[in-house]
């Protein structure tokens, strides 16, 4: 399966009568099967807008987004969205929140138990989300997106406002899941360090109106990315090639 | 729940109300102002003859039917108006009109147009209540959390799932509010409907007793009916309210 984003551009009506604000310039890229893309850009550059367009939540835009090819089961591609805020239904327990997005067949496959155990959430399956810490809510939201076994995983700064150990733990979970099942991942962040940890390819956006200014692969093997010197090397290389980049993000 | 003290206060208040009634009856010394014991006697007699159950049964049947009808219609229309700006703009003036038509007018028109039949009675009551339900539910539907609807959309949840598990739980407080006020309004209108065009039911009986100046029976029916409505309130509506709100911290 492949994701093609062709000259997507988005304008909002502005407050002045008849005025238009461009949120997103003409954005064009292709995500190949199993690719992990990090989208990096200053806040307000239209990253969330782009994700909503790709996930099909916003259909008022110019250009074209296509998911080409069927998934492994020959069905319509499934999209798992991890929003910036967890968006769990407070009136349903953790388990019920997960069951909501699954088919009866998936519920009986035991995937919920499996994922709750691997995220150390099994003790909280009967808990209502408002009683959980924000970190745990984010974990549940992650599990929810994993549980539908998405072909495209869309993530909008899912690990902000978490302490470092928790964020590292969840990034590890995400990488394991991705390496295991190889969905296409679009991961939005504004931290270069986080993008370096995760990305197979880096898409850098300019500030509003967001346009794609840089599209580079991250070739450092995942096993070596935890080393500080590798990160420094990477940053140095980037800033040599694109001197203005580091001021922007 | 109720503490010993609050029970004592309620009991005291009830006993003083009874004493006031007794005093008033004693002072008036008239067939038109019977004392509590006389009313109780009439009440038991009427239960013994099965007359009270017969008429209250008919009234409750009409209450239940028109309650169900007005809730279903009101919820449907309310959600539609709350979710669609054009529909809301178009039908807002209709709603204002129906909200302000006196109950008596709807009742008379229904009887004139449909005849003195059961359906006309139930419809007349429902038409009186539907606009109130619509207004309350519309408020709730306007305030639906967009985050959850987007979540549902991105996970491709079915329309039924969205309605049942995402929309209705958010409307629950509004549903409970409109049910409680609905019950209070509907039974009063049902009595008027019965008085004007039915040959059984509490309303019909009250009309009969009015013609006979049988105040003791009027009070007996009133007490029996109020107690029944209170039982519904405490037995069904309040537990329901606690149930739908149990996830709130």
Interface test with A, best of B168, B175, B242, B247 (most A CBs within 10 A): B247
* pLDDT reported for residue A249: 60
Instruction: Give B247's contacts in chain A (Cβ within 8 Å).
Output: 90-92, 128, 130
Confidence of residue A230 (pLDDT cuts 50, 70, 90): confident
Confidence of residue B85 (pLDDT cuts 50, 70, 90): very high
Q: What is the nearest CA distance from B106 to chain A, expressed in angstroms? A: 40
Interface test with A, best of B154, B158, B160 (most A CBs within 10 A): B154
Secondary structure class of A159 (helix, strand, coil):
coil
In this structure, are strands A36-40 and A201-205 parallel, antiparallel, or unpaired?
Answer: parallel
* pLDDT reported for residue B174: 92
Better pLDDT: A219 or B89:
B89
Average pLDDT over residues A97-105: 90
For the purposes of burial, counting CB atoms within 10 Å of the CB of B130, is it exposed (0-12), middle (13-18) or buried (19 or more)? buried
Residue B214 has pLDDT above 80, yes or no: yes
**Count of the separate structural domains present in chain A:** 1
Residue A242 within any structural domain of the chain: yes
Residue A200 within any structural domain of the chain: yes
**Closest partner CB to B165 (pick from A79, A83, A100):** A100
Instruction: Give B156's contacts in chain A (Cβ within 8 Å).
Output: 78-79
Contact B154 A91 (CB under 8 A): no
Cis peptide before A209 (omega within 30 of 0): yes
Q: How many CB pairs below 8 Å do chains A and B form together?
A: 49
Chain B: residue whose CA lies nearest to A127? B247
What is the Cα–Cα distance from B119 to B110, expressed in whole angstroms? 9
Chain A: residue whose CA lies nearest to B245? A91
**Three-class SS string for B93-160?**
HHHHHHHHCCHHHHHHHHHHHHCCCHHHHHHHHHHHHHHHHHHHHHHHHHCCCHHHHHHHHHCCCCHH
Residue A64 within any structural domain of the chain: yes
Nearest to A197 by CA among A234, A236, A144: A234
Residue A207 within any structural domain of the chain: yes
Average pLDDT over residues A149-173: 89
Residue A50 within any structural domain of the chain: yes
Chain B: residue whose CA lies nearest to A96? B165
Give the domain extent around A30. Answer: 2-78+152-158+183-248
**Closest partner CB to A101 (pick from B157, B169, B249):** B157
Cβ(A214)–Cβ(A242) under 8 Å? yes
Residue A171 within any structural domain of the chain: no
Chain A: residue whose CA lies nearest to B246? A91
ipTM exceeding 0.90? no
Task: Dump pLDDT digits (tens) for A103-131.
Answer: 888 888 888 998 899 888 999 999 999 99
The DSSP element (H or E) to which A203 belongs, if any, is strand A201-205
Residue A166 within any structural domain of the chain: no
CATH number of the CATH domain containing A39: 3.40.50.300
């Amino acid at each position: 399966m492949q994701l093609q984003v062709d000259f997507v551009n988005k304008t909002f009506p502005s407050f002045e009568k008849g005025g238009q604000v461009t949120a997103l310039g003409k954005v064009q890229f292709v995500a190949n099967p199993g690719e992990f893309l990090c989208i990096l850009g200053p806040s307000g550059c239209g990253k969330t807008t782009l994700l909503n367009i790709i996930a099909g939540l916003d259909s008022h835009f110019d250009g074209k987004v296509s998911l080409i090819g069927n998934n492994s089961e020959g069905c319509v591609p499934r999209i798992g969205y991890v929003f910036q805020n967890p968006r769990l239904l407070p009136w349903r327990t953790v388990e019920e929140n997960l069951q909501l997005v699954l088919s009866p067949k998936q519920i009986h496959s035991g995937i919920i138990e499996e994922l709750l155990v691997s995220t150390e959430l099994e003790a909280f399956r009967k808990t209502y989300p408002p009683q959980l810490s924000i970190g745990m809510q984010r974990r549940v939201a992650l599990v929810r997106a994993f549980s539908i076994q998405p072909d495209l995983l869309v993530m909008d700064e899912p690990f902000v406002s978490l302490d470092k150990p928790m964020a590292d733990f969840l990034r590890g979970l995400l990488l394991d899941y991705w390496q295991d099942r190889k969905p296409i991942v679009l991961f939005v962040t504004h931290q270069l360090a986080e993008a370096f940890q995760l990305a197979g390819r880096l898409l850098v956006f300019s500030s509003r109106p967001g346009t794609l200014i840089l599209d580079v692969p991250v070739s450092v093997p995942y096993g070596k990315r935890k080393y500080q010197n590798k990160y420094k090397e990477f940053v140095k290389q980037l800033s040599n090639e694109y001197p203005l980049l580091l001021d922007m993000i | 729940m109720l503490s010993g003290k609050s029970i004592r206060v309620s009991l005291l208040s009830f006993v003083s109300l009874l004493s006031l009634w007794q005093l008033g009856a004693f002072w008036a010394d008239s067939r038109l102002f019977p004392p509590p014991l006389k009313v109780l006697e009439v009440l038991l007699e009427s239960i013994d003859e099965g007359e009270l159950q017969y008429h209250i049964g008919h009234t409750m049947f009409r209450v239940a039917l028109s309650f169900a009808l007005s809730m279903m219609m009101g919820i449907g229309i309310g959600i539609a108006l709350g979710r669609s700006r054009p529909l809301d703009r178009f039908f807002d003036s209709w709603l204002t009109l129906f909200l302000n038509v006196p109950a008596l007018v709807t009742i008379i028109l229904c009887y004139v147009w449909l005849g003195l039949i059961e359906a006309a009675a139930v419809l007349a009551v429902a038409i009186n209540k539907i606009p109130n339900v619509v207004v309350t539910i519309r408020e709730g539907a306007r305030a639906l959390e967009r985050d959850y609807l987007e979540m549902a959309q991105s996970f491709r949840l079915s329309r039924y799932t969205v309605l049942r598990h995402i929309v209705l739980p958010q409307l629950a407080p509004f549903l409970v509010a409109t049910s409680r006020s609905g019950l209070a309004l509907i039974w009063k209108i049902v009595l008027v409907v019965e008085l004007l065009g039915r040959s059984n039911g509490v309303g019909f009986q009250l009309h009969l007793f009015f013609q006979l100046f049988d105040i003791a029976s009027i009070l007996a029916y009133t007490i029996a009916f109020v107690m029944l409505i209170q039982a519904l309130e405490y037995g069904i509506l309040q537990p329901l309210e606690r149930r739908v709100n149990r996830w709130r911290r």
